[in-house]
Protein backbone atom coordinates (compact mmCIF):
# COMPACT_ATOMS: atom_id res chain seq x y z
CA UNK A 1 0.00 0.00 0.00
CA UNK A 2 1.40 3.27 -0.99
CA UNK A 3 1.98 6.03 1.49
CA UNK A 4 -0.65 8.25 0.01
CA UNK A 5 -3.42 5.73 0.35
CA UNK A 6 -2.44 5.15 3.97
CA UNK A 7 -2.63 8.84 4.66
CA UNK A 8 -5.90 9.07 2.85
CA UNK A 9 -7.25 6.22 4.79
CA UNK A 10 -6.17 7.79 8.06
CA UNK A 11 -8.00 10.90 7.09
CA UNK A 12 -11.06 8.88 6.32
CA UNK A 13 -11.17 9.79 2.71
CA UNK A 14 -10.21 6.44 1.30
CA UNK A 15 -13.12 4.40 -0.01
CA UNK A 16 -14.34 1.45 2.10
CA UNK A 17 -14.80 -0.44 -1.11
CA UNK A 18 -11.73 -0.62 -3.24
CA UNK A 19 -11.33 -0.97 -6.94
CA UNK A 20 -13.54 1.86 -8.03
CA UNK A 21 -16.50 -0.37 -8.72
CA UNK A 22 -19.86 0.56 -10.04
CA UNK A 23 -23.01 -0.43 -8.21
CA UNK A 24 -23.70 -3.10 -10.77
CA UNK A 25 -20.26 -4.57 -10.32
CA UNK A 26 -20.82 -4.66 -6.56
CA UNK A 27 -24.05 -6.54 -6.90
CA UNK A 28 -22.54 -8.90 -9.45
CA UNK A 29 -19.49 -9.68 -7.45
CA UNK A 30 -21.20 -10.16 -4.13
CA UNK A 31 -23.96 -12.34 -5.51
CA UNK A 32 -21.66 -14.38 -7.66
CA UNK A 33 -21.38 -17.30 -5.24
CA UNK A 34 -25.15 -17.65 -5.10
CA UNK A 35 -25.68 -18.29 -8.76
CA UNK A 36 -22.53 -20.04 -9.83
CA UNK A 37 -21.65 -23.62 -9.13
CA UNK A 38 -19.70 -23.73 -5.84
CA UNK A 39 -15.97 -24.00 -5.99
CA UNK A 40 -14.26 -27.21 -5.05
CA UNK A 41 -12.92 -25.48 -1.96
CA UNK A 42 -16.47 -24.81 -0.82
CA UNK A 43 -17.44 -28.41 -1.49
CA UNK A 44 -14.50 -29.72 0.47
CA UNK A 45 -15.24 -27.48 3.42
CA UNK A 46 -18.94 -28.23 3.29
CA UNK A 47 -18.53 -31.98 3.11
CA UNK A 48 -16.13 -31.91 6.01
CA UNK A 49 -18.44 -29.76 8.11
CA UNK A 50 -21.47 -31.81 7.20
CA UNK A 51 -19.73 -35.06 8.06
CA UNK A 52 -18.77 -33.67 11.45
CA UNK A 53 -22.35 -32.51 11.96
CA UNK A 54 -23.83 -35.86 11.06
CA UNK A 55 -21.43 -37.69 13.35
CA UNK A 56 -22.26 -35.18 16.05
CA UNK A 57 -25.98 -35.74 15.61
CA UNK A 58 -25.37 -39.46 15.88
CA UNK A 59 -23.48 -38.94 19.08
CA UNK A 60 -26.25 -36.74 20.40
CA UNK A 61 -28.66 -39.57 19.70
CA UNK A 62 -26.40 -42.00 21.50
CA UNK A 63 -26.06 -39.60 24.40
CA UNK A 64 -29.83 -39.30 24.70
CA UNK A 65 -30.12 -43.08 24.61
CA UNK A 66 -27.33 -43.89 27.06
CA UNK A 67 -27.33 -40.99 29.45
CA UNK A 68 -24.70 -38.55 30.51
CA UNK A 69 -22.39 -41.19 31.94
CA UNK A 70 -20.58 -41.43 28.64
CA UNK A 71 -19.18 -37.96 29.32
CA UNK A 72 -16.57 -36.92 31.84
CA UNK A 73 -18.84 -34.92 34.12
CA UNK A 74 -18.97 -36.13 37.70
CA UNK A 75 -19.99 -35.10 41.14
CA UNK A 76 -17.93 -32.03 41.94
CA UNK A 77 -17.72 -31.00 38.30
CA UNK A 78 -21.35 -31.14 37.25
CA UNK A 79 -20.76 -29.02 34.18
CA UNK A 80 -18.05 -29.95 31.76
CA UNK A 81 -17.29 -29.34 28.11
CA UNK A 82 -20.94 -28.73 27.28
CA UNK A 83 -21.26 -25.61 29.35
CA UNK A 84 -17.81 -24.51 28.22
CA UNK A 85 -19.02 -24.87 24.65
CA UNK A 86 -22.25 -23.10 25.46
CA UNK A 87 -20.57 -20.04 26.94
CA UNK A 88 -17.99 -20.06 24.19
CA UNK A 89 -20.53 -20.01 21.37
CA UNK A 90 -22.83 -17.51 23.03
CA UNK A 91 -19.78 -15.30 23.46
CA UNK A 92 -18.88 -15.65 19.79
CA UNK A 93 -22.29 -14.35 18.89
CA UNK A 94 -21.73 -11.05 20.60
CA UNK A 95 -19.44 -9.60 17.97
CA UNK A 96 -22.16 -9.88 15.38
CA UNK A 97 -24.61 -7.95 17.45
CA UNK A 98 -22.02 -5.39 18.36
CA UNK A 99 -21.08 -4.83 14.74
CA UNK A 100 -24.59 -4.74 13.39
CA UNK A 101 -26.31 -2.85 16.19
CA UNK A 102 -23.87 -0.77 18.18
CA UNK A 103 -21.71 0.24 15.26
CA UNK A 104 -24.86 0.97 13.29
CA UNK A 105 -26.04 3.38 15.94
CA UNK A 106 -22.61 4.96 16.06
CA UNK A 107 -22.73 5.35 12.29
CA UNK A 108 -19.57 3.46 11.69
CA UNK A 109 -19.52 3.17 7.95
CA UNK A 110 -16.89 0.45 7.85
CA UNK A 111 -19.21 -2.00 9.51
CA UNK A 112 -21.22 -2.47 6.30
CA UNK A 113 -18.60 -4.71 4.81
CA UNK A 114 -18.79 -7.25 7.58
CA UNK A 115 -22.07 -6.90 9.35
CA UNK A 116 -24.05 -9.44 7.36
CA UNK A 117 -21.59 -12.25 7.91
CA UNK A 118 -21.13 -11.24 11.52
CA UNK A 119 -24.86 -11.34 12.13
CA UNK A 120 -25.14 -14.71 10.49
CA UNK A 121 -22.33 -15.86 12.70
CA UNK A 122 -24.29 -14.64 15.72
CA UNK A 123 -27.35 -16.62 14.79
CA UNK A 124 -25.48 -19.80 14.03
CA UNK A 125 -23.39 -19.46 17.18
CA UNK A 126 -26.47 -18.98 19.33
CA UNK A 127 -28.14 -21.97 17.70
CA UNK A 128 -25.08 -24.07 18.33
CA UNK A 129 -24.96 -22.87 21.94
CA UNK A 130 -28.64 -23.63 22.47
CA UNK A 131 -28.13 -27.17 21.17
CA UNK A 132 -25.36 -27.85 23.66
CA UNK A 133 -27.45 -26.41 26.44
CA UNK A 134 -30.37 -28.71 25.77
CA UNK A 135 -28.41 -31.92 25.42
CA UNK A 136 -26.33 -31.34 28.53
CA UNK A 137 -29.32 -31.80 30.83
CA UNK A 138 -30.18 -35.16 32.32
CA UNK A 139 -33.53 -35.48 30.60
CA UNK A 140 -33.28 -33.40 27.42
CA UNK A 141 -36.73 -34.48 26.25
CA UNK A 142 -38.11 -32.44 29.14
CA UNK A 143 -36.02 -29.38 28.30
CA UNK A 144 -39.16 -27.43 27.43
CA UNK A 145 -39.96 -27.35 31.13
CA UNK A 146 -37.54 -24.47 31.34
CA UNK A 147 -40.07 -22.29 29.54
CA UNK A 148 -42.92 -20.84 31.56
CA UNK A 149 -45.90 -22.02 29.58
CA UNK A 150 -49.44 -22.60 30.81
CA UNK A 151 -49.78 -26.24 31.80
CA UNK A 152 -52.04 -28.66 33.53
CA UNK A 153 -49.75 -29.30 36.44
CA UNK A 154 -51.20 -26.82 38.81
CA UNK A 155 -50.01 -24.84 36.76
CA UNK A 156 -46.42 -25.53 37.63
CA UNK A 157 -44.22 -22.53 36.97
CA UNK A 158 -40.53 -22.32 36.52
CA UNK A 159 -38.35 -20.97 39.27
CA UNK A 160 -37.89 -17.35 38.28
CA UNK A 161 -35.05 -17.02 40.77
CA UNK A 162 -32.84 -19.41 38.87
CA UNK A 163 -30.18 -17.94 36.60
CA UNK A 164 -30.84 -20.78 34.21
CA UNK A 165 -34.32 -19.38 33.63
CA UNK A 166 -32.79 -15.97 32.99
CA UNK A 167 -30.52 -17.75 30.58
CA UNK A 168 -33.47 -19.31 28.83
CA UNK A 169 -35.02 -15.88 28.37
CA UNK A 170 -31.77 -14.21 27.46
CA UNK A 171 -30.79 -16.76 24.87
CA UNK A 172 -34.22 -17.05 23.31
CA UNK A 173 -34.62 -13.26 23.16
CA UNK A 174 -31.18 -12.95 21.71
CA UNK A 175 -31.86 -15.54 19.08
CA UNK A 176 -35.20 -14.10 18.04
CA UNK A 177 -34.08 -10.47 17.87
CA UNK A 178 -30.90 -11.33 16.04
CA UNK A 179 -32.85 -13.43 13.61
CA UNK A 180 -35.37 -10.66 12.89
CA UNK A 181 -32.69 -8.01 12.58
CA UNK A 182 -30.68 -10.13 10.23
CA UNK A 183 -33.66 -11.01 8.14
CA UNK A 184 -34.93 -7.45 7.83
CA UNK A 185 -31.47 -6.42 6.70
CA UNK A 186 -31.54 -9.20 4.14
CA UNK A 187 -34.82 -8.25 2.52
CA UNK A 188 -33.49 -5.76 -0.11
CA UNK A 189 -30.65 -8.09 -0.97
CA UNK A 190 -32.98 -11.05 -1.33
CA UNK A 191 -35.03 -8.90 -3.64
CA UNK A 192 -31.93 -8.37 -5.71
CA UNK A 193 -31.39 -12.10 -5.75
CA UNK A 194 -34.99 -12.62 -6.78
CA UNK A 195 -34.59 -10.21 -9.64
CA UNK A 196 -31.47 -11.93 -10.87
CA UNK A 197 -32.69 -15.50 -10.51
CA UNK A 198 -33.52 -17.38 -13.63
CA UNK A 199 -34.27 -20.75 -12.10
CA UNK A 200 -37.97 -21.10 -11.43
CA UNK A 201 -37.81 -22.66 -7.97
CA UNK A 202 -35.05 -20.40 -6.84
CA UNK A 203 -37.00 -17.42 -7.98
CA UNK A 204 -40.09 -18.60 -6.16
CA UNK A 205 -38.23 -19.05 -2.88
CA UNK A 206 -36.46 -15.73 -3.10
CA UNK A 207 -39.74 -14.06 -4.05
CA UNK A 208 -41.43 -15.37 -0.95
CA UNK A 209 -38.48 -14.41 1.22
CA UNK A 210 -38.18 -10.90 -0.15
CA UNK A 211 -41.68 -10.11 1.16
CA UNK A 212 -42.61 -8.26 -1.99
CA UNK A 213 -39.84 -5.75 -1.76
CA UNK A 214 -40.08 -3.21 -4.57
CA UNK A 215 -37.46 -0.74 -3.49
CA UNK A 216 -39.84 2.19 -3.36
CA UNK A 217 -38.91 5.21 -1.35
CA UNK A 218 -41.63 4.33 1.13
CA UNK A 219 -40.21 0.86 1.54
CA UNK A 220 -36.71 2.19 1.99
CA UNK A 221 -37.78 4.69 4.59
CA UNK A 222 -39.67 2.00 6.57
CA UNK A 223 -36.71 -0.24 6.19
CA UNK A 224 -34.33 2.35 7.61
CA UNK A 225 -36.57 2.99 10.61
CA UNK A 226 -37.10 -0.70 11.37
CA UNK A 227 -33.37 -1.28 11.17
CA UNK A 228 -32.71 1.54 13.54
CA UNK A 229 -35.34 0.35 16.01
CA UNK A 230 -34.03 -3.17 15.92
CA UNK A 231 -30.49 -1.91 16.34
CA UNK A 232 -31.63 0.00 19.38
CA UNK A 233 -33.35 -3.12 20.70
CA UNK A 234 -30.31 -5.29 20.10
CA UNK A 235 -27.82 -2.92 21.63
CA UNK A 236 -28.67 -3.72 25.26
CA UNK A 237 -28.47 -7.39 24.38
CA UNK A 238 -24.77 -7.02 23.70
CA UNK A 239 -24.42 -6.27 27.37
CA UNK A 240 -27.27 -8.24 28.85
CA UNK A 241 -26.94 -11.69 27.30
CA UNK A 242 -23.46 -12.41 28.43
CA UNK A 243 -24.10 -10.69 31.71
CA UNK A 244 -26.89 -13.16 32.31
CA UNK A 245 -24.75 -16.06 31.17
CA UNK A 246 -22.18 -14.90 33.69
CA UNK A 247 -24.90 -14.95 36.36
CA UNK A 248 -24.97 -18.73 36.03
CA UNK A 249 -21.67 -18.55 37.79
CA UNK A 250 -21.78 -15.26 39.66
CA UNK A 251 -25.07 -15.99 41.41
CA UNK A 252 -23.79 -19.26 42.82
CA UNK A 253 -22.01 -19.39 46.13
CA UNK A 254 -18.85 -21.11 45.03
CA UNK A 255 -15.49 -19.48 45.59
CA UNK A 256 -14.20 -18.48 42.17
CA UNK A 257 -17.70 -18.18 40.72
CA UNK A 258 -19.30 -15.88 43.22
CA UNK A 259 -17.67 -12.66 42.04
CA UNK A 260 -19.15 -9.34 40.95
CA UNK A 261 -16.56 -8.89 38.26
CA UNK A 262 -18.00 -11.68 36.15
CA UNK A 263 -20.64 -9.70 34.19
CA UNK A 264 -18.31 -7.02 32.69
CA UNK A 265 -15.58 -9.58 32.37
CA UNK A 266 -17.88 -11.90 30.44
CA UNK A 267 -19.11 -9.12 28.15
CA UNK A 268 -15.57 -8.01 27.35
CA UNK A 269 -14.59 -11.61 26.82
CA UNK A 270 -17.56 -12.19 24.55
CA UNK A 271 -16.72 -9.24 22.31
CA UNK A 272 -13.11 -10.26 22.37
CA UNK A 273 -13.81 -13.79 21.25
CA UNK A 274 -16.53 -12.71 18.86
CA UNK A 275 -14.28 -10.30 17.02
CA UNK A 276 -11.60 -12.90 16.84
CA UNK A 277 -14.08 -15.27 15.27
CA UNK A 278 -15.21 -12.59 12.81
CA UNK A 279 -11.60 -12.01 11.82
CA UNK A 280 -11.10 -15.73 11.34
CA UNK A 281 -14.20 -16.02 9.19
CA UNK A 282 -13.60 -12.84 7.20
CA UNK A 283 -10.05 -13.72 6.40
CA UNK A 284 -11.26 -17.02 5.05
CA UNK A 285 -14.30 -15.55 3.29
CA UNK A 286 -12.44 -12.78 1.49
CA UNK A 287 -9.99 -15.34 0.19
CA UNK A 288 -12.49 -17.98 -0.77
CA UNK A 289 -15.12 -15.72 -2.30
CA UNK A 290 -12.67 -13.13 -3.56
CA UNK A 291 -14.16 -10.28 -1.57
CA UNK A 292 -10.90 -8.57 -0.83
CA UNK A 293 -12.16 -5.33 -2.20
CA UNK A 294 -15.18 -5.33 0.05
CA UNK A 295 -13.56 -6.61 3.21
CA UNK A 296 -10.49 -4.47 3.13
CA UNK A 297 -7.52 -4.27 5.41
CA UNK A 298 -9.15 -1.28 7.02
CA UNK A 299 -12.04 -3.44 8.18
CA UNK A 300 -9.70 -6.00 9.54
CA UNK A 301 -7.47 -3.48 11.20
CA UNK A 302 -10.42 -1.92 12.95
CA UNK A 303 -11.46 -5.28 14.25
CA UNK A 304 -7.95 -6.02 15.39
CA UNK A 305 -8.03 -2.83 17.40
CA UNK A 306 -11.20 -4.00 19.08
CA UNK A 307 -9.55 -7.34 19.78
CA UNK A 308 -6.61 -5.64 21.40
CA UNK A 309 -8.73 -3.35 23.54
CA UNK A 310 -11.04 -6.09 24.75
CA UNK A 311 -8.04 -8.33 25.23
CA UNK A 312 -6.58 -5.75 27.57
CA UNK A 313 -9.89 -5.55 29.38
CA UNK A 314 -9.98 -9.30 29.80
CA UNK A 315 -6.40 -9.27 31.02
CA UNK A 316 -7.28 -6.59 33.51
CA UNK A 317 -10.17 -8.72 34.71
CA UNK A 318 -7.88 -11.69 35.27
CA UNK A 319 -5.55 -9.60 37.34
CA UNK A 320 -8.28 -7.88 39.25
CA UNK A 321 -9.92 -11.20 40.08
CA UNK A 322 -6.71 -12.44 41.55
CA UNK A 323 -6.09 -9.27 43.43
CA UNK A 324 -9.55 -9.22 44.97
CA UNK A 325 -9.29 -12.87 45.91
CA UNK A 326 -6.18 -12.05 47.88
CA UNK A 327 -7.32 -8.65 49.12
CA UNK A 328 -10.70 -9.87 50.37
CA UNK A 329 -8.95 -12.16 52.81
CA UNK A 330 -11.48 -14.86 52.04
CA UNK A 331 -9.51 -18.05 52.37
CA UNK A 332 -11.75 -20.06 50.11
CA UNK A 333 -11.73 -17.43 47.40
CA UNK A 334 -7.99 -17.02 47.70
CA UNK A 335 -7.45 -20.72 47.46
CA UNK A 336 -9.75 -21.07 44.47
CA UNK A 337 -7.64 -18.63 42.47
CA UNK A 338 -4.30 -19.96 43.57
CA UNK A 339 -5.63 -23.34 42.61
CA UNK A 340 -6.59 -22.04 39.19
CA UNK A 341 -3.10 -20.87 38.52
CA UNK A 342 -1.17 -23.65 40.21
CA UNK A 343 -3.63 -26.49 40.69
CA UNK A 344 -4.31 -29.49 38.47
CA UNK A 345 -5.76 -27.33 35.70
CA UNK A 346 -2.95 -24.79 35.78
CA UNK A 347 -2.04 -25.70 32.20
CA UNK A 348 -5.46 -24.53 31.04
CA UNK A 349 -5.07 -21.33 33.01
CA UNK A 350 -1.73 -20.54 31.45
CA UNK A 351 -3.00 -21.36 27.97
CA UNK A 352 -5.76 -18.87 28.67
CA UNK A 353 -3.37 -16.19 29.89
CA UNK A 354 -0.93 -16.58 27.06
CA UNK A 355 -3.59 -16.72 24.35
CA UNK A 356 -5.83 -13.97 25.66
CA UNK A 357 -3.44 -11.55 27.28
CA UNK A 358 -0.11 -12.02 25.58
CA UNK A 359 -0.99 -12.78 21.95
CA UNK A 360 -3.16 -9.69 21.24
CA UNK A 361 -0.25 -7.48 22.30
CA UNK A 362 1.20 -7.90 18.83
CA UNK A 363 -1.52 -5.53 17.63
CA UNK A 364 0.28 -2.61 19.20
CA UNK A 365 2.13 -2.54 15.91
CA UNK A 366 0.31 -1.39 12.85
CA UNK A 367 2.23 -3.73 10.59
CA UNK A 368 0.85 -6.64 12.57
CA UNK A 369 -2.67 -5.25 12.60
CA UNK A 370 -2.60 -5.16 8.81
CA UNK A 371 -0.87 -8.46 8.28
CA UNK A 372 -3.33 -11.14 7.24
CA UNK A 373 -1.17 -14.04 8.45
CA UNK A 374 -0.52 -12.48 11.84
CA UNK A 375 -4.11 -11.56 12.46
CA UNK A 376 -5.33 -14.98 11.38
CA UNK A 377 -2.99 -16.72 13.81
CA UNK A 378 -3.83 -14.30 16.61
CA UNK A 379 -7.54 -14.73 16.04
CA UNK A 380 -7.20 -18.49 16.24
CA UNK A 381 -5.18 -18.17 19.42
CA UNK A 382 -7.78 -15.87 20.90
CA UNK A 383 -10.50 -18.37 20.07
CA UNK A 384 -8.50 -21.11 21.77
CA UNK A 385 -7.75 -18.89 24.73
CA UNK A 386 -11.35 -17.89 25.17
CA UNK A 387 -12.48 -21.49 25.06
CA UNK A 388 -9.97 -22.22 27.79
CA UNK A 389 -11.13 -19.24 29.80
CA UNK A 390 -14.57 -20.79 30.00
CA UNK A 391 -12.97 -24.16 30.74
CA UNK A 392 -11.03 -22.66 33.62
CA UNK A 393 -14.18 -21.07 35.00
CA UNK A 394 -16.31 -24.19 34.70
CA UNK A 395 -13.59 -26.30 36.31
CA UNK A 396 -13.74 -24.16 39.45
CA UNK A 397 -16.06 -26.69 41.07
CA UNK A 398 -13.40 -29.38 41.09
CA UNK A 399 -12.03 -27.97 44.34
CA UNK A 400 -14.54 -26.09 46.38
CA UNK A 401 -15.35 -26.03 50.06
CA UNK A 402 -14.88 -29.52 51.43
CA UNK A 403 -11.58 -31.10 50.40
CA UNK A 404 -13.20 -34.52 50.64
CA UNK A 405 -15.22 -33.75 47.52
CA UNK A 406 -12.32 -32.73 45.40
CA UNK A 407 -11.95 -34.66 42.19
CA UNK A 408 -10.78 -34.11 38.69
CA UNK A 409 -12.81 -33.87 35.54
CA UNK A 410 -11.39 -35.95 32.76
CA UNK A 411 -13.22 -35.45 29.45
CA UNK A 412 -14.00 -38.56 27.46
CA UNK A 413 -13.98 -39.23 23.76
CA UNK A 414 -17.57 -38.05 23.57
CA UNK A 415 -16.77 -34.72 25.17
CA UNK A 416 -14.16 -34.04 22.53
CA UNK A 417 -16.41 -35.35 19.77
CA UNK A 418 -19.17 -32.98 20.82
CA UNK A 419 -16.73 -30.09 21.01
CA UNK A 420 -15.69 -30.74 17.44
CA UNK A 421 -19.33 -31.33 16.61
CA UNK A 422 -20.30 -27.80 17.61
CA UNK A 423 -17.83 -26.48 15.05
CA UNK A 424 -19.36 -28.86 12.53
CA UNK A 425 -22.85 -27.50 13.11
CA UNK A 426 -21.63 -23.93 13.02
CA UNK A 427 -19.64 -24.24 9.83
CA UNK A 428 -22.30 -26.27 8.05
CA UNK A 429 -24.77 -23.49 8.65
CA UNK A 430 -22.26 -20.80 7.78
CA UNK A 431 -21.22 -22.42 4.52
CA UNK A 432 -24.82 -22.91 3.50
CA UNK A 433 -25.42 -19.27 4.26
CA UNK A 434 -22.52 -18.25 2.03
CA UNK A 435 -24.03 -20.25 -0.79
CA UNK A 436 -27.57 -19.00 -0.72
CA UNK A 437 -27.44 -15.50 0.70
CA UNK A 438 -25.15 -12.50 0.13
CA UNK A 439 -22.35 -12.47 2.67
CA UNK A 440 -22.09 -8.72 2.37
CA UNK A 441 -25.01 -6.35 2.80
CA UNK A 442 -25.20 -5.07 -0.77
CA UNK A 443 -27.67 -2.34 -0.07
CA UNK A 444 -25.69 -1.05 2.85
CA UNK A 445 -22.32 -1.30 1.28
CA UNK A 446 -23.53 0.83 -1.57
CA UNK A 447 -24.31 3.60 0.87
CA UNK A 448 -20.68 3.93 1.86
CA UNK A 449 -19.23 3.54 -1.59
CA UNK A 450 -17.28 6.29 -3.16
CA UNK A 451 -18.40 6.63 -6.77
CA UNK A 452 -15.97 7.80 -9.37
CA UNK A 453 -14.97 11.29 -8.27
CA UNK A 454 -15.26 10.53 -4.58
CA UNK A 455 -18.86 11.67 -4.40
CA UNK A 456 -20.76 9.91 -1.71
CA UNK A 457 -24.03 8.48 -2.83
Q: Are 115 and 104 in contact (CB under 8 A)?
A: yes
Contact letters (x/-) for other proteins, 222-251, by CB under 8 A? --------------------------x--x
The interface region with other proteins, picked from 90-98, 114-122, 203-211, 394-402 by CB under 8 A, is 394-402
Q: Is 411 in the site for other proteins (CB under 8 A)?
A: no
Residue pair 224/444 in contact (Cβ under 8 Å)? The answer is: no
Q: Does 169 participate in binding other proteins (rule CB under 8 A)?
A: no
Site string for other proteins, 305-334 (x = CB under 8 A): ---------------------x----x--x
When asked if residue 407 is in the footprint of other proteins (CB under 8 A), the reply is yes
Q: How far is the CB of 252 from other proteins (least distance, A)?
A: 5
Where in 61-90 is the site for other proteins (CB under 8 A)?
Answer: 66-69, 72-79
Query: Of 1, 214, 402, 455, which lies in the binding site for other proteins, with binding defined by CB under 8 A?
Result: 402
For position 342 contacting other proteins by CB under 8 A, the verdict is yes
**Binding of residue 253 to other proteins (CB under 8 A):** yes
Q: Give the one residue of 85, 339, 368, 383 binding other proteins; rule: CB under 8 A.
A: 339
Among 101, 146, 307, 429, binds other proteins (CB under 8 A): 146
For residue 73, the minimal CB distance to other proteins (Å) is 7
Taking CB under 8 A as the criterion, the residue among 23, 106, 149, 157 binding other proteins is: 157
Minimum distance between the CB of residue 75 and other proteins, rounded to whole angstroms?
A: 5
Least Å from the CB of residue 149 to other proteins: 12
Q: How far is the CB of 409 from other proteins (least distance, A)?
A: 8
Q: Which of 50, 158, 374, 448 binds other proteins (CB under 8 A)?
A: 158
Positions touching other proteins (CB under 8 A) are 66-69, 72-79, 136-139, 142-143, 145-146, 156-159, 161-165, 168, 248, 251-254, 326, 331, 334-335, 338-339, 341-342, 397, 399-407, 410
Amino acid sequence: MSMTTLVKEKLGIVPLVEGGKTYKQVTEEILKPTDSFPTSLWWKAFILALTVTIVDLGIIGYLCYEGLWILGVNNPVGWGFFIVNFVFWIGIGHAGTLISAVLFLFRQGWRTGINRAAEAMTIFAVLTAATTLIIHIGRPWLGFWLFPYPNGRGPMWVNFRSPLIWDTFAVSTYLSISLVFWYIGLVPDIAALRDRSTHKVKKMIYSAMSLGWVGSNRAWSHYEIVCMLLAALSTPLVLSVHTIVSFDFAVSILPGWHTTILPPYFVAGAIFSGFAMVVTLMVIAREVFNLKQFITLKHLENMNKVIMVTGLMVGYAYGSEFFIAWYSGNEYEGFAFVNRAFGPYAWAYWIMISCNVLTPQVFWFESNRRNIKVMFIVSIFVNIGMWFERFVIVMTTHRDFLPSNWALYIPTFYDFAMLIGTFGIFFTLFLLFCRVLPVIAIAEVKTVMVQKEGVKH
